[in-house]
């Protein structure tokens, strides 16, 4: 029987009527969701999905969102690890990891960037050397989001330095809980610590945990980066509005929270911030309008111009996402507008800062509880440079848009063909260097 | 549903694009913009006869196609792309919406059929010397004269005012700012073409010295009519800007691929590549804004006043930058 | 002559630069900015003892070096380059100029020698909770008490107010806003360090509850003193920003030369190279602006009010952009 | 005897007392000036100069400016042709051209840019083929300023296409008045015609008119471009405040105008525009302040912000120039600030346009006599893109600043070593292509 929008909606509705229950634990709910295939209706049927095309998956999500049902835990597991493994991994790896991600058994981190390999990721230096049925890993990664809570890491390591840089890299699923892995939190300008450095000293990973082919990791990494770009920025807006939580370290909490309690708590958070994320204010003007009003600057023409400029940028970014989504729902492919969210989110962060600065005036000098919006203006000020760097800098995004969307010619890159050994990478003085630059 | 285009939408855009590629190439635009009249009556007649374009948003009962703001946006995007020199925006957007919003059925019956079939060029004369569309400060006065009115005053920035057969004039009557229909050849009306920076869109200054006029709608009703008309008109304009900006981007990218300097295409240099990427970001965003606003208009959403202004502001800046960057990339042609 | 530096100028800058390279490297700045006190008394004493810096613009008769705004700008540029954590700007610029402009010789004799030799940390407390420097809306009041005054009210954004030995407070007296000297340890004075975004420059909020104070200058004279003081202080600040911006540029260029990606230094990519070129443009222009304003101050030119504001506005934006671009080029260190 | 600032000033003053006479013709004055060496005190003594270093030359200029004495005709002759010939030419060429430029006998144009060679000037295709004691020139130049009034042109032409692009170019002094040279004016967006295309069809130039070596033209061209960069942009501010005029076509007028009349006319022009140039408004805010006041927008906070922003940019640009000049006068060398005027002047042109647009509001739509400031706002609008393109685009300036001032590494350029024949230049379809792009 061919699925249609209405058949999918009806099926989902019926399943929800039967299975959704605010009184069961979040854990039980996530298991039901994973086993039914509704957790990720777009994934293949044999791997916890229902094999639906994006437009029909969107119909299903709409039903779940109608009742505020939480989806699988947000994070790199669902966003990157499982899709990468489904697309490139062995069936054993899929069995081991896909469901575990959906029910929140494993949290994942991404072990890609290094001090010497930021924009030029293929210049990575972390080595994995074969030792029987295992590989031994030595080196350093950096800018690892969620490194501290992660159970597994998506690791890129060099397995053959005699090949050109793109061709000697292998992709692993590495267990983080082992003696050879040392995770050290990095403190950001904002005082927060969202990133870590990860040091490997004879860490071990079984050969069976290779995703894709040995020395074929670059192609796998590109598929991961593709998932990442869709996830950051505007996003397609398709999915569960609310996400559950998970990871080995939160297992107990998962079992002690009911679905109903979780939904209520999420709604309270959303009310206080005008968004369901506590991490970043994003492009919301609401706090700035309040600030301007509180400071008596609501009539200031410059403050108003900056606020509207921000509101326009973030609205337009949402509209780009809606437009991409509408194309997908209509059965087409998202166009150029889908690649723009990342770049736009950098501009929005900068504009938020600019607007806040004009509005706050002298108060802009203060932080913490003394600062405007109880320190959030200062935090955003310090966080604003982030989006234009992480997940591929603005400069790299412009290269990608120019080359892949507009078809402009690439620059010649002789380093693509040199054996890796002969290549100079980073600053060649690993102690003092800075990674992830913007070129 | 929002942002979901039908086959009819796509056919409208594709058909118009083909027509304009044929009838409004660069050379023709250059020729027409240098004329005082500013458009080619033959092309205008074909736009009406073959494509029914002047009557696009005119209801069917008045001889139009009865289309909505989304179709209008798509059409304007194509016209913007081709920089079409024609009295479309004045006739089919400003004057048409003003007549429709006036609620004056008799006026609609009298004028819209001719406008829809392209035989009546019409416009809306709101601003005076200061260029403001606000009806509050309108100095042009209407005085009763038997069944009709006589108008005295000056209007400026009147789009296609020098060629319009019908001019809808905002003037102060006893009950406040009101809309009046004035014939282009009326006695007492002097029209002077203005020198415009954008030579593809002509404007005129009007002097009214006891010009006979007929009330359109109700006395004191012009403020509402103008506000609602502009709300829709700026979306059409935003869409037109999207088309123009897209054309700038297309030209830039095409040139950047073939122009060789230092032994490589200039589009391989980051300075040019990144400029093009930023243009794409802005052009696509402008398109989303214009379309979103058009759908808000189509759905008569409460968001309309906000999003139509946002679309207009965003698209104007995006078009300006695209044009400037296009010049920079071409390097002074 | 304008923009012509003497050997003495160059020696001042070079000597200070050497001192700060030694005493205020990054690690030390990070350490000090995390302390509540915010500076190292030993370094401050050396700055005074070895270089006479706190008394740079204090006239010789009060124990200072008697230098002018040009020397001050050069010194501030070096301190900005090193992000020196010290109460220099509060003591040697704000409070010093306020005392000098007050015309109060007795106060000058009483306070300036200690400030010049680094034993008295001083500051100027103008703004209240709204952060405005305008003296018009000052709510802190001064009431007569025998020969002296008692102050009641709140001050905020007081630079180094938490450590100052002498606080020059603007308060409303019978004749209008007036300047008063308050001891840091005065009874009735509560000082609270504020959490600042720029942790290298501490600020405090003060609560004054019947705090004994001595009038500085004349009653009603504060408006003029504050205006003239700020006019010079913003030039010092602009120069400081030039130093900081230059350091950002230096760091960017150095890193762009050694950081290899895609087999080449990132500084060979136009995206980075052009960003550095634009930084240079702005940093050099900021320097010209700060120096020009400093010379206008030195020459007591009529242009001073205009050019000091222009320098401050331009240098602030240039510094901000240089810092942002420096972060971008380093990519998130 | 060694010259000092005061000795130079006194010498100049004495010479002026003896020779400066408002009643002599401009022609006679320019001859006196050229023959005394005061026309260009920085040029070598044997070539109409006095061999003074820049700081002492500046002292001399100050004396001439004190009495408003006009200097030699402004233009490419004094700015480019004579300095290039003095630095690279034979003595015969110097005799033929240096004095002629100073007294206004010859006006010059620059025949460098081509449709296929803009930013990459070395890709030029115009050919000069040896024919006995002459070269025969064929090809096309474009963006030639003053092409119509010019008596001579500084021509770059390819003399050996088998050498790499930089090494097969020769530099000529070409007479413009000959049958093989066809000058066609280009009409700009503004409706003005300041540039020409120049077509060569078997034009002839004697081998004795080669400046520098045959096939050694590139080095000579670089010296010309160096003079050009100093002349455009902020400039050093050193020289005669007022320039005479000349060129073969204006000879008669030169003889019929007295120095006094000429000074008076120049002052009148300066009064009406607030500048002694009628070409561009430059960064002056005066007309915009007037416009804002006329339109009742003098209190508009946005208009004020834009006006001050413009005033700040153009003041800062002047101060950069003054600072460079002060260094030179103090006997030092101009620093980085001297290379920035060109880039800054682009920004100023854009800011003028932005400010005018905010101030003019709806009036901004009108041009000619209907437009604000009687059409000058519209003209400036159309002229604003110019400065970021001509004389080396903004992008080229940033390359130069990045590489030569900041010492950042150059990009690899394999086209530098290929024989010119094998190189693709321009768009390879000379009819429709556009020159001088910005990369």
Mean pLDDT, residues D378-389 taken together: 90
Query: Which chain B residue lies closest to A312 (C-alpha atoms)?
Result: B310
DSSP helix/strand/coil, D389: coil
CA of D273 vs chain C CAs: smallest distance (Å): 22
How does the average pLDDT of chain A come out, rounded? 88
Q: Does C227 touch chain D (CB under 8 A)?
A: no
Alpha-carbon gap, residue D219 to B207, rounded angstroms: 64
Among B270, B275, B329, which would you mutate to test the C interface (most chain C Cβ atoms within 10 Å of its Cβ)? B270
Alpha-carbon gap, residue C146 to D318, rounded angstroms: 56
- Listed in sequence order, the residues at least 6 apart from A429 whose beta carbon sits closer than 8 Å to its beta carbon are none
Query: Which chain B residue lies closest to A403 (C-alpha atoms)?
Result: B273
CA of A413 vs chain D CAs: smallest distance (Å): 10
Low-confidence ranges of chain B (pLDDT < 50): none
Q: Which residues of C touch A425 (CB under 8 A)?
A: 260-261
Each residue's pLDDT tens digit, C285-316: 999 999 999 999 999 999 999 999 999 999 99
- Across the interface, whether the CB atoms of D437 and B261 are under 8 A apart is answered yes
Beta strands B166-173 and B189-193, pairing class: unpaired
- Across the interface, whether the CB atoms of A403 and B273 are under 8 A apart is answered yes
The rounded radius of gyration (Å) of the Cα atoms in chain A is 23
Beta bridge partners of B182: B167
Low-confidence ranges of chain C (pLDDT < 50): none
Confidence category of residue D35, pLDDT binned at 50, 70, 90 = very high
Predicted confidence at residue D438, as pLDDT, reads 43
CA of D300 vs chain A CAs: smallest distance (Å): 9
Q: Does D439 touch chain A (CB under 8 A)?
A: no
Predicted confidence at residue A435, as pLDDT, reads 38
Confidence category of residue A275, pLDDT binned at 50, 70, 90 = very low
Q: Which residues of C touch B274 (CB under 8 A)?
A: 271
Among C261, C268, C271, C328, which would you mutate to test the B interface (most chain B Cβ atoms within 10 Å of its Cβ)? C271
- Across the interface, whether the CB atoms of C271 and B270 are under 8 A apart is answered yes
Q: Which residues of B touch C271 (CB under 8 A)?
A: 270-271, 274
Alpha-carbon gap, residue D264 to D275, rounded angstroms: 14
Alpha-carbon gap, residue A259 to A257, rounded angstroms: 7
Query: Which chain C residue lies closest to B272 (C-alpha atoms)?
Result: C270
CA of C249 vs chain B CAs: smallest distance (Å): 20
| Total Cβ atoms within 10 A of residue A369 | 9
Q: What percent of chain A has pLDDT over 90?
A: 63
Predicted confidence at residue B74, as pLDDT, reads 98
Whether the CB-CB separation of B254 and B329 falls below 8 Å is answered with no
- Listed in sequence order, the residues at least 6 apart from B243 whose beta carbon sits closer than 8 Å to its beta carbon are B76, B77, B78, B79, B80, B81, B82
| Total Cβ atoms within 10 A of residue C49 | 12
Mean pLDDT, residues D406-425 taken together: 89
Q: Does A50 touch chain B (CB under 8 A)?
A: no
Choose, from D63, D114, D197, D228, the residue flagged as catalytic. D228
DSSP helix/strand/coil, A307: helix
Beta strands A108-111 and A152-158, pairing class: parallel
Query: Which chain B residue lies closest to C269 (C-alpha atoms)?
Result: B270
Alpha-carbon gap, residue B209 to B140, rounded angstroms: 10
Helix axes A54-66, A5-19, angle to 10 degrees: 40
Whether D413 shows a pLDDT value over 50: the answer reads: yes
Predicted confidence at residue A335, as pLDDT, reads 66
Whether A234 shows a pLDDT value over 60: the answer reads: no
The DSSP secondary structure of A136-163, one letter per residue, reads: EEEEEEEEEETTTT-SEEEEEEES-TTS
CA of A433 vs chain D CAs: smallest distance (Å): 18
More reliable by pLDDT, A424 or A36 = A36
The dihedral built from the CA positions of residue B232, B235, B239 and B244, taken in this order, carries a sign that is: positive
Predicted confidence at residue A15, as pLDDT, reads 97
| Total Cβ atoms within 10 A of residue C163 | 19
- Residues of A annotated as catalytic are 228
Predicted confidence at residue B274, as pLDDT, reads 97
Locus of tokens 């590494």? D409
Q: Which residues of B touch C269 (CB under 8 A)?
A: 270
Give per-residue burial for A129-159: e unless 16+ CB within 10 Å, then b.
eeeeeebbbbbbbbbbbbbbbbbbbbbbbbb
Each residue's pLDDT tens digit, A51-68: 988 778 888 998 999 999
Subunits with 3+ Cβ pairs within 8 Å of B are A, C, D
Q: What are phi and psi of B235, to 5 degrees?
A: -70, -40
Per-residue DSSP letter, A78: I
Predicted confidence at residue D439, as pLDDT, reads 46
Q: Which residues of C touch A120 (CB under 8 A)?
A: 261-263
Predicted confidence at residue B331, as pLDDT, reads 87
Beta bridge partners of C145: C148
Least confident range of A86-90, A309-313, D35-39, D237-241: D237-241
Inter-chain CB pairs, C–D, below 8 Å: 109
Q: Does B157 touch chain D (CB under 8 A)?
A: yes
Confidence category of residue A342, pLDDT binned at 50, 70, 90 = confident
Query: Which chain D residue lies closest to B254 (C-alpha atoms)?
Result: D427
Residues 348-367 of D with CB under 8 A from B: 361-367
Whether A339 shows a pLDDT value over 50: the answer reads: yes
Q: Does C106 touch chain A (CB under 8 A)?
A: no
Each residue's pLDDT tens digit, D102-158: 999 999 999 999 998 888 999 999 999 999 999 999 999 998 888 888 999 999 999
CA-CA-CA-CA torsion for C283, C285, C289, C295, nearest 10 degrees? Answer: 100
Each residue's pLDDT tens digit, A77-125: 998 999 999 999 999 999 999 999 999 999 999 999 999 988 899 999 9
Alpha-carbon gap, residue C40 to C25, rounded angstroms: 13
Whether D435 shows a pLDDT value over 70: the answer reads: no
Q: Which residues of A touch B2 (CB under 8 A)?
A: 322, 326
Chain C residues within 8 Å of chain B (Cβ atoms) = 269-271, 274
Least confident range of A89-93, D37-41, D59-63: D59-63
Total residue count of chain A as it appears in this document = 439
Q: Does D412 touch chain A (CB under 8 A)?
A: yes
Confidence category of residue D437, pLDDT binned at 50, 70, 90 = very low
Predicted confidence at residue A2, as pLDDT, reads 75
Query: Which chain C residue lies closest to B271 (C-alpha atoms)?
Result: C270
Beta strands A169-175 and A210-211, pairing class: antiparallel
Whether A229 shows a pLDDT value over 70: the answer reads: no
Query: Which chain C residue lies closest to A413 (C-alpha atoms)?
Result: C262
Predicted confidence at residue C18, as pLDDT, reads 97
Q: Does A1 touch chain B (CB under 8 A)?
A: no
Q: Which residues of A touch D409 (CB under 8 A)?
A: none
Q: Which residues of D touch B129 (CB under 8 A)?
A: none
Confidence category of residue A237, pLDDT binned at 50, 70, 90 = low
Confidence category of residue D188, pLDDT binned at 50, 70, 90 = confident
Q: Does A414 touch chain C (CB under 8 A)?
A: yes
């Amino acid at each position: 029987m061919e699925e249609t929008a209405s058949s999918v909606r009806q099926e989902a509705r019926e399943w929800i009527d039967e299975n959704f229950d605010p009184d069961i634990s979040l854990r039980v709910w996530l298991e039901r969701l994973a086993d039914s295939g509704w957790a990720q209706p777009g994934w293949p049927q044999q791997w916890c999905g229902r094999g639906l095309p994006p437009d029909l998956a969107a119909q299903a999500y709409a039903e779940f969102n109608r009742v505020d049902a939480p989806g699988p835990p947000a994070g790199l597991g669902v966003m990157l690890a499982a899709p990468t493994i489904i697309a490139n991994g062995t069936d054993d790896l899929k069995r081991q990891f896909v469901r575990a991600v959906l029910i929140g058994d494993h949290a994942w981190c991404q072990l890609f960037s290094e001090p010497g390999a930021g924009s030029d990721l293929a210049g990575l230096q972390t080595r994995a050397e074969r030792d029987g049925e295992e590989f031994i890993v030595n080196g350093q990664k950096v800018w690892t989001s969620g490194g501290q809570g992660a159970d597994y890491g998506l690791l890129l390591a060099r397995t053959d330095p005699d090949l050109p840089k793109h061709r000697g890299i292998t992709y692993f699923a590495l267990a983080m809980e082992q003696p050879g892995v040392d995770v050290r939190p990095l403190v950001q300008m904002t005082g927060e610590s969202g990133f870590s450095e990860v040091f490997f000293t004879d860490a071990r990973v079984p050969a069976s945990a290779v995703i894709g082919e040995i020395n074929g990791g670059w192609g796998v990494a590109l598929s991961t980066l593709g998932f990442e770009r869709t996830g950051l920025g505007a996003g397609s807006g398709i999915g569960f509005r609310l996400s559950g939580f998970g990871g080995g370290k939160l297992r107990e909490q998962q079992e002690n929270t009911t679905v109903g309690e979780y939904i209520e708590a999420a709604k309270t958070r959303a009310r206080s911030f005008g968004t369901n994320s506590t991490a970043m204010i994003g492009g919301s003007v609401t706090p700035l309008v309040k600030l301007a009003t509180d400071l008596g600057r609501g009539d200031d023409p410059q403050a108003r111009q900056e606020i509207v400029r921000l509101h326009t940028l973030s609205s337009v970014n949402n509209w780009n996402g809606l437009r991409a989504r509408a194309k997908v729902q209509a059965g087409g492919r998202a166009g150029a507008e889908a690649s723009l969210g990342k770049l736009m989110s950098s501009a929005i962060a900068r504009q938020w800062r600019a607007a806040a600065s004009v509005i706050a005036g002298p108060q802009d000098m203060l932080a913490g509880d003394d600062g405007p919006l109880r320190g959030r203006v200062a935090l955003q000020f310090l966080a604003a440079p982030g989006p234009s760097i992480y997940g591929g800098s603005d400069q790299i995004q412009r290269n990608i848009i120019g080359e892949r969307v507009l078809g402009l010619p690439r620059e010649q890159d002789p380093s693509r063909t040199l054996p890796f050994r002969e290549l100079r990478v980073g600053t060649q003085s690993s102690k003092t260097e800075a990674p992830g630059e913007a070129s | 549903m929002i942002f979901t285009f039908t086959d009819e939408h796509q056919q409208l855009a594709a058909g118009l694009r083909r027509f304009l590629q044929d009838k409004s190439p660069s050379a023709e635009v250059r020729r027409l913009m240098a004329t005082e009249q500013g458009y080619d009556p033959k092309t205008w007649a074909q736009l009406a006869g073959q494509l029914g374009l002047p009557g696009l948003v005119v209801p069917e009962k008045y001889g139009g196609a009865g289309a909505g703001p989304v179709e209008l946006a798509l059409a304007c995007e194509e016209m913007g792309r081709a920089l079409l020199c024609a009295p479309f925006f004045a006739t089919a957007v400003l004057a048409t919406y003003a007549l429709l919003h006036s609620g004056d059925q008799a006026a609609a019956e009298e004028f819209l059929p001719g406008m829809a079939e392209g035989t009546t060029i019409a416009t809306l004369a709101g601003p005076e010397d200061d260029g403001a569309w606000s009806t509050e400060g309108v100095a042009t006065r209407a005085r009763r004269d038997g069944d009709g009115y006589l108008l005295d005053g000056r209007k400026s920035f009147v789009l296609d005012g020098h060629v319009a057969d019908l001019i809808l004039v905002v003037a102060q009557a006893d009950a406040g700012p009101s809309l009046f229909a004035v014939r282009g050849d009326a006695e007492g009306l002097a029209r002077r073409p203005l020198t415009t920076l954008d030579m593809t869109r002509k404007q005129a200054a009007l002097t009214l010295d006891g010009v006979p006029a007929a009330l359109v709608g109700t006395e004191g009703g012009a403020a509402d009519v103008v506000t609602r008309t502009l709300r829709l008109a700026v979306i059409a304009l935003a869409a037109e800007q999207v088309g123009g900006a897209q054309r700038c981007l297309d030209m830039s990218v095409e040139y950047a691929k073939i122009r060789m300097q230092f032994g490589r295409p200039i589009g391989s240099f980051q300075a040019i590549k990144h400029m093009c990427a930023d243009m794409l970001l802005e052009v696509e965003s402008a398109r989303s804004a214009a379309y979103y606003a058009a759908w808000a208009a189509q759905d008569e959403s409460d968001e309309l006043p906000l999003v139509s202004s946002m679309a207009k502001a965003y698209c104007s800046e995006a078009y300006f930058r695209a044009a400037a960057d296009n010049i920079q990339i071409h390097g002074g042609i």
